[in-house]
Structure 1
Amino acid sequence: MNLPLRALFVFGAVILVASAHAELPDASRFGRAMELGDIRSASRWLEEGLPPDFEADVSGSGLMIAAAEGNIRLMELFVEHGADIDYVSRIGEQAIALAAWKGRQQAVEWLIERGASLDPPDKTWSALHYAAFAGRTRIVDLLVRKGAKIDARAPNLATPLMMAVREGHEDIVRALVEAGASTTAVSDRGENALAWALRYNRLKIAGLVAPPEQVAEAVNAEPAPAAPVRPPAPVASIPAPPAVTELLKKLRLAEAQGKPTDALRRQFMAAVDAHRKASARQAVKAAPTALVISAKRGKAGGERAELVAGAATPAVQTLADDAGAADILRALTAAQAAGQPTEELRRRFRAAVDRIRVQP
């Protein structure tokens, strides 16, 4: 059967339109658009068949990105299209945890009102872990009031209390202890909150998680034999310098809008190079800070920049003169394991602890 020419034209046009609508974003493009809050694109993609829990390349699902940005309208859009409010990403995160980490209290409340679980599967980072780690006091209080599991266990068996101790958030430590958090729970390395307080030089906080005599006994105890080497714990990240961050934002916006990006990319790489050189000139002592920037020349679309703060175990011979108690203790443990003299390190450790005791 032969179709009229007009019918063939209309049929062909329908096929072209359908093909255009079927062009859904890849994970990278999707992530950039959601970070920019591009609700129009999100709505169009969802209407054209994008799975509601589709994950970006690095940031999780659309709902999770929206929660981290505190974008309630975007959160509503994904939930209306069937997004799982308790969806766990491929790296084990949930929307409510990211909202808590970024301090997006309104987003946390919105998720709780719609039935978001406060307790993920066991050995998963919970919203309370993230809020305690990031020092989000009001969100910690909210989660505790709403019934979050106060002694939830992370993959390394750390509790929210341990995370607050690690980062030195005294108010949160006090609030969690008063709410009944266990001070004796131990991590996968057999360390409790007191051990973490001493490791990270938190002598004042140590008094909140253990009685004075126990703190004194722990401080004066002989260092335990070195434990088997384990992979380092995740380190905290802080934003890149404003110039780099602003250029990266402009670059992402131009990409999302389909505008030329060559000039912006050159500016971005110049700012990255300048910051790398400045960072290389900084003096590094007991707790170095590493610059991690994934931007590579000739590879468009993959630019990311952040500073990662972490402490490395100092060598006995190169321990800085102004090293803190935690660094000295690590050096002391390493020296003991290597069969090296430890008398001078023990003296320095006790002196460092004495200095902390007299601080207001």
Structure 2
Amino acid sequence: MNAASRALIAISAAFFFSSARAELPDPSRFGRAMEMGDIRAAARWLDEGLPPDFEADVVGTGLMIGAWDGNIPLMELFVERGANLDYVSRIGEQAIALAAWRGKRKAVEWLIERGASIDPPDKTWGALHYAAFAGQRDIVDLLIARGAKLDARAPNLATPLMMAVREGHESIARSLVAAGASTIAVSDRGENALAWALRYNRLKIATLVAPPENVAEAVSAAPVAAPPPPPPVSVPAPPEVGELLRKLRQAEAEGRPTDALRRQFMAAVDRHRRSSAQQTVRAAPSALVISARRGKQGAERAELVGAGATPATQTLAADAGAADILRALQEAQERGQPTEELRRRFREAVDRLRQSAP
């Protein structure tokens, strides 16, 4: 074989492989397909060379999206293809934490049984943080029983107990204290669980995390002022809202009319808002967030929240100067408007922050 023939073969091979690579998805396309539970697409892309820990535009890897959804077959596929059970996404989250946040007990158990760590790296949001923050009592009890680190520290040095106190989850705070969680650990602002309880006017919980005399002393020493409003808390949307949203996105993806479905969806959201306000004395949720913030044709899920999505997403948005983008993204999704450009800007802001980190 002469040199010209060898060169031609090399060029042809390079063209073939570059063409195959060109078929791999970008983060947005990958995220939408995984949210749709498209296991065939996932398997095909993995066969074509997609890294098993490839991240979608916002949530994370295929394994993490599966954990968020409780989609165990999707999780199985990625783990079989080499996905890292303990992979930490670019915004500092792990699959087990997302499953805990969403209350997906079977997914949490599945991950633990296959060797996923229940303890996050230091100064990382962990599964116990997220379960305590989201009020997932069942998951908190599971993690405590499995020996999770009770005083794991988040990026702001907050402990799971502080998260439960902040959100007013009394039974979870009680369980954590009974299990031995520290009541004197302090955050990066030098505040312990008692300080958090007083800041958010959780006076009943305050007596769980400090002796009565300490609570009385702290209250007496505090400046006289109107108590701040409790922090907004996550309120899971009822199945009706999620199902209508799924039908709406499916109709959009297939090019079918959506006006009637959109009216039903917004009516269901309004009913849930009113119901949430009546059922709690805390501040009513302020925004509808499409969990995972997918594009117009994705299989988004609805969740009413007051401050955004997971703590890591909120923190990254603030640190990256992308809080306005995140709010605009939430508003666009609530109105059914296109979100591709906002998603791109959010991802770029987070990537810039990562590149500038020491």
Same fold per superposition (TM over 0.5): yes
Which ranges in structure 2 are unaligned for 5 or more consecutive residues? 2-11, 308-358
1:85 is paired with a residue whose SS is coil
Residue among 287, 308, 313 paired with 1:291: 287
Q: Bigger radius of gyration, 1 or 2?
A: 1
Range with greater deviation from structure 2 (134-143 or 15-24): 15-24
Shift of 1:275: 6.5
RMSD of Structure 2 on Structure 1 (CA): 3.9
Which ranges in structure 1 are unaligned for 5 or more consecutive residues? 2-11, 226-232, 311-360
User: Which residue type is aligned with residue 263 of structure 1?
Assistant: P
User: Which residue type is aligned with residue 57 of structure 2?
Assistant: D
Change (3 A) 1:49 1:264: farther
Change (3 A) 1:293 1:120: closer
- Counting only pairs closer than 5 Å after superposition, residues 92-131 of structure 1 correspond to structure 2 as 92-131=92-131
Q: Distance in 2 between matches of 1:289 and 1:135?
A: 15
Deviations 1:1-45 (A, max 9, x none): 9xxxxxxxxxx9xx9999478522222222222222222221122
Corresponding position: 1:43 with 2:43: yes
Shift of 1:83: 0.6
Q: Distance in 2 between matches of 1:204 and 1:273?
A: 36
User: Which residue type is aligned with residue 291 of structure 1?
Assistant: A
Aligned position for 1:253: 250
Shift of 1:222: 3.4
Contact 1:123–1:154 (8 Å) recurs in 2:
yes
Deviations 1:263-310 (A, max 9, x none): 23785389559979x98xxx9x9946422568xxxx954888654325
Shift of 1:128: 0.7
Q: Which has the higher contact order (CA 8 A, sep 6+)?
A: 2
Aligned position for 1:187: 187
Shift of 1:188: 1.8
Q: Distance in 2 between matches of 1:79 and 1:293?
A: 29
- Counting only pairs closer than 5 Å after superposition, residues 183-262 of structure 1 correspond to structure 2 as 183-223=183-223, 236-239=233-236, 245-254=242-251, 260-261=254-255
Deviations 1:322-352 (A, max 9, x none): xxxxxxxxxxxxxxxxxxxxxxxxxxxxxxx
Structure with more of its chain in helix, by fraction: 2
Change (3 A) 1:54 1:236: farther
Contact 1:183–1:194 (8 Å) recurs in 2:
yes
TM-score (norm 1): 0.67
User: Which residue type is aligned with residue 286 of structure 2?
Assistant: A
Residue among 258, 269, 283 paired with 1:264: 258
Change (3 A) 1:62 1:269: farther
Contact 1:251–1:261 (8 Å) recurs in 2:
no
1:87 is paired with a residue whose SS is coil
2:87 is paired with a residue whose SS is coil
Aligned residues: 285
User: Which residue type is aligned with residue 261 of structure 1?
Assistant: G
Q: Distance in 2 between matches of 1:107 and 1:208?
A: 31
Q: Distance in 2 between matches of 1:271 and 1:137?
A: 29
Shift of 1:237: 3.9
Aligned position for 1:161: 161
Contact 2:67–2:107 (8 Å) recurs in 1:
yes
Contact 1:194–1:210 (8 Å) recurs in 2:
yes
Q: Distance in 1 between matches of 2:201 and 2:232?
A: 17
Contact 1:22–1:48 (8 Å) recurs in 2:
no
Change (3 A) 1:222 1:140: closer
Change (3 A) 1:244 1:70: closer
Contact 1:244–1:268 (8 Å) recurs in 2:
no
1:263 is paired with a residue whose SS is coil
Contact 1:292–1:305 (8 Å) recurs in 2:
yes
Q: Distance in 2 between matches of 1:240 and 1:90?
A: 27
Contact 1:103–1:131 (8 Å) recurs in 2:
yes
TM-score (norm 2): 0.67
